Amino acid sequence: MTSCLFCAILAGDEPGAIVLDEPEAAAFLDVRPLFPGHTLVVPRLHVAALQDLPDGLGGTLLATARRIAAALRTALGAEGAFVALNDVVSQSVPHLHIHVVPRRKGDGLRGFFWPRTRYDDPEHLERIRAAIAAAL
């Protein structure tokens, strides 16, 4: 898919600071990093949304993200990593990608603000649980 920036990077048609290039997955530096070393792990196959990811490829992507997180510790002295995936909403490029961001205590990253709520009652919880289970 040539209109996809990440596919173009993988094809060598657009510049990208590739740190890992393998048959099923690749990783390159984010051009607008939260911190230096912020890496994006992508499937080589163009997949826009998590629901479109072929069975088996998720394990490969997570294993690649794990390897990148370990490499950030070694290469940059990171104490840990923030690993995240936006599915469609908040994806600036419509190609599934996992963010692996090097972290250090006191680095200033404050996570996400997610307003918490409650279920109306146990029946409401059960209706939601049953709907999700039925969809699976």
Show which residues are catalytic.
Answer: 97
Distance CA 64, CA 89 (A): 23
φ and ψ at 118, to 5 degrees?
-130, 160
Residue length of the chain: 136
How many angstroms separate the CA atoms of 42 and 38, rounded? 13
HSE-CB of 45 using CA atoms within 13 angstroms: 13
| Contact assessment for residue 26 and residue 14, using Cβ atoms and an 8 Å cutoff | no
Q: Give the Cα separation of 124 and 115 in Å (integer).
A: 19
CA distance 6 to 12: 10
